[in-house]
Chain A
């Protein structure tokens, strides 16, 4: 039964080999062009926000935004496969999706009415 896991071990080895190879080779073959953005913690995405005035804590608003993002992100995760398999799923799938999106919108209505979407 364990033999079914052999491909996973293979994938693991492949992943490890690729990571080691990339890290080892990059310093020799990669171009080096320095600028300020390269010194940031992450050089993609939006610019990092400065520390809050009195140090230490980030406002809880970030947490709220992240949570909202996850809610809608997960919604999309379910919507894609449904959209692809819509013909096969038929009316039943449609009804289930409407119920699912309905509950997500319930949460959305709550967040909107309680001011969760306002930054200040």
Chain B
């Protein structure tokens, strides 16, 4: 008996190998590196890994290959999303590495195992020792996300889902300030996330039961041959629920505000930007590749969920008084806008539909903007922690005109005002939806955008036209990492709004799924 070794194209796997390799080296540094030099080494390793991943995806541009025994599909869309995740991940790692803002020089707790509020915890609060395990953890999460968007097999997709989720659960609980809130967030995220994973796994089981395969292409063939019926529909529904949870689409969004608020702000930025890209990448691949012929099963579902998500995000966003929670509901609303793009014309054969490139561009634009917005939140501090209550931001423009201006730019982009990346992205996804005849959905999306614009603009009005409170927050001077993040995200937000042509063209050319 001989067993054929699966074909394994190391070149096509290079981005993943880079990131996972860096994560493994990070674990070794954590084990053997001397404590004093760990932080710079970990930051360097994580950045080399993610930037290496970014560069290799760029070098691989144009590849269309199914490799690793059919488990991975390295194609245009996969590489575009991998590059987006690696780039946004590197920027998030820079936010993790910021040491100038917190008086104790890090946003992460020194020893997570010490009970919050205990004597030992109070002693450690002012210690300038720094938590370095977050870097390998975040790198593993980034690797999982990059695997998620190229997974060509439901089981590999599930493994990637776990690889990206488990480190995220952990690092959401590592805030230095307001530790109980942070731990609560971690537990909630873990419990609800496990449910979502279980849904996904049950979906995999049902689809396998109905079609006899877990390969996306195999599922497509079996489904087109009208096998399965009810089992396939049930399985599809469960798979989609699991993925929509990760993408924080209402009505599966209930964890989002609590986790976004409780997690350390750099981690929130990371989740809001990268997890969203990864989850939508998987949704697109699943729906277009595996269930592309089952369109009329999932279209009504996505249609309805998109409306619910936009309305819930926009309306509940209005009632929030905490900026992190507000941005969380904004993230729910944006997930709805993204789903309108998913409804755009799917790719048929070699002709890319309008839906896929629109969603890919939107993910890139939204990721950069939201990352920038959370980066600004880390600057504004009162006492020991971040000042995230709306009232604390009153009159911020008088205290720090630059911070207020940058934040206004990000908020305008999130609202979708012309000349920002948010407008270009929204225009692209709405056009994709209208071209497919889903104009009622686009209408709802426009109304939801108008409602959501109110709460973004409210912050701008508050910053510019209110008297500053006497004991208001101070605006910290960011160190090099956060400055880089703010510069890159602000520049990208403007450039993708004014001259989006190049990136839109790139997304158009890249919008290809192989399976």
- 0 or 1 for each of A64-108: is its CB under 8 Å from B? (1 = yes): 000000000000000000000100111011000000000100110
| B470 CB–A CB distance under 8 Å | no
Residue of A nearest to B212 (CB): A1
| A54 CB–B CB distance under 8 Å | no
Q: Is the CB of B32 within 8 A of A113?
A: yes
| A114 CB–B CB distance under 8 Å | yes
| A58 CB–B CB distance under 8 Å | no
> Contacts of B30 on A, CB cut-off 8 Å?
110, 113-114
> How long is the Cα–Cα vector from A107 to B28 in the complex, in angstroms?
9
| A109 CB–B CB distance under 8 Å | yes
> Contacts of B27 on A, CB cut-off 8 Å?
106-107, 109-110
Q: Is the CB of B3 within 8 A of A88?
A: yes
| A26 CB–B CB distance under 8 Å | no
| A6 CB–B CB distance under 8 Å | no
Q: Is the CB of B3 within 8 A of A60?
A: no
Q: Is the CB of A109 within 8 A of B3?
A: no
Q: Is the CB of B31 within 8 A of A88?
A: no
> From residue B72, how far is it (CB to closest CB) to chain A in Å?
15
Q: Is the CB of B113 within 8 A of A90?
A: no
> From residue B131, how far is it (CB to closest CB) to chain A in Å?
13
> Contacts of A89 on B, CB cut-off 8 Å?
3, 5
Q: Is the CB of B24 within 8 A of A90?
A: no
Q: Is the CB of B3 within 8 A of A106?
A: no
Q: Is the CB of A114 within 8 A of B5?
A: no
Known: A60-B113, A103-B24, A106-B24. A113 touches B31 (CB 8 A): yes
> From residue A62, how far is it (CB to closest CB) to chain B in Å?
14
| B2 CB–A CB distance under 8 Å | yes
Interfacial residues of chain A within 20-66, with CB under 8 A of chain B in the complex:
60
| B502 CB–A CB distance under 8 Å | no
> Contacts of A107 on B, CB cut-off 8 Å?
27
Task: Give which listed residue, B5, B28, B32, contacts A90 with CB less than 8 A.
Answer: B5
> How long is the Cα–Cα vector from A107 to B24 in the complex, in angstroms?
9
Task: Give which listed residue, A60, A103, A110, contacts B31 with CB less than 8 A.
Answer: A110
- 0 or 1 for each of B20-40: is its CB under 8 Å from A? (1 = yes): 000010011011100000000
| B1 CB–A CB distance under 8 Å | yes
> From residue A65, how far is it (CB to closest CB) to chain B in Å?
15
Residue of B nearest to A90 (CB): B5
Q: Is the CB of B28 within 8 A of A106?
A: yes
> From residue A4, how far is it (CB to closest CB) to chain B in Å?
10
> How long is the Cα–Cα vector from A89 to B31 in the complex, in angstroms?
33
Q: Is the CB of B24 within 8 A of A88?
A: no
> From residue A112, how far is it (CB to closest CB) to chain B in Å?
8
> From residue B361, how far is it (CB to closest CB) to chain A in Å?
36
Interfacial residues of chain B within 424-446, with CB under 8 A of chain A in the complex:
none
> Contacts of A113 on B, CB cut-off 8 Å?
30-32
Q: Is the CB of A92 within 8 A of B5?
A: yes
Q: Is the CB of B32 within 8 A of A88?
A: no
Residue of A nearest to B29 (CB): A110
> From residue B144, how far is it (CB to closest CB) to chain A in Å?
14
> From residue B129, how far is it (CB to closest CB) to chain A in Å?
15
> Contacts of B5 on A, CB cut-off 8 Å?
89-90, 92-93
> From residue B34, how far is it (CB to closest CB) to chain A in Å?
12
Residue of B nearest to A5 (CB): B209
> From residue A55, how far is it (CB to closest CB) to chain B in Å?
17
Highest count of chain A CB atoms <10 Å: which of B31, B32, B113:
B31
> From residue B38, how far is it (CB to closest CB) to chain A in Å?
12
- 0 or 1 for each of B118-159: is its CB under 8 Å from A? (1 = yes): 000000000000000000000000000000000000000000
> Contacts of A93 on B, CB cut-off 8 Å?
3, 5
> How long is the Cα–Cα vector from A47 to B2 in the complex, in angstroms?
48
Task: Give which listed residue, A85, A110, A114, contacts B3 with CB less than 8 A.
Answer: A85
> From residue B188, how far is it (CB to closest CB) to chain A in Å?
20
Task: Give which listed residue, B1, B2, B24, B31, contacts A114 with CB less than 8 A.
Answer: B31
Residue of B nearest to A109 (CB): B31
> How long is the Cα–Cα vector from A114 to B32 in the complex, in angstroms?
9
> How long is the Cα–Cα vector from A78 to B74 in the complex, in angstroms?
27
> How long is the Cα–Cα vector from A92 to B68 in the complex, in angstroms?
13
> How long is the Cα–Cα vector from A103 to B27 in the complex, in angstroms?
10
> From residue B160, how far is it (CB to closest CB) to chain A in Å?
16
> Contacts of A92 on B, CB cut-off 8 Å?
5
> How long is the Cα–Cα vector from A114 to B3 in the complex, in angstroms?
40
> Contacts of B32 on A, CB cut-off 8 Å?
109, 113
Residue of A nearest to B23 (CB): A106
Highest count of chain A CB atoms <10 Å: which of B3, B28, B30:
B3
> How long is the Cα–Cα vector from A5 to B343 in the complex, in angstroms?
38
> From residue B101, how far is it (CB to closest CB) to chain A in Å?
28
> How long is the Cα–Cα vector from A62 to B32 in the complex, in angstroms?
25
> Contacts of B24 on A, CB cut-off 8 Å?
103, 106
> How long is the Cα–Cα vector from A109 to B27 in the complex, in angstroms?
9
> Contacts of B3 on A, CB cut-off 8 Å?
85, 88-89, 93
Q: B-contacting residues of A (Cβ < 8 Å)?
A: 60, 85, 88-90, 92-93, 103, 106-107, 109-110, 112-114
> Would you give 21 A-B contacts (Cβ < 8 Å), ordered by A?
A60-B113, A85-B3, A88-B1, A88-B2, A88-B3, A89-B5, A90-B2, A90-B5, A103-B24, A106-B24, A106-B27, A106-B28, A109-B27, A109-B31, A110-B27, A110-B28, A112-B31, A113-B31, A113-B32, A114-B30, A114-B31
What 8 pairs across the A-B complex have the smallest Cβ distances?
A92-B5, A113-B31, A110-B31, A88-B3, A109-B31, A88-B1, A110-B27, A106-B27
Given A85-B3, A109-B27, A113-B32, 7 extra CB contacts under 8 A: A88-B3, A93-B3, A106-B27, A107-B27, A109-B31, A109-B32, A110-B27
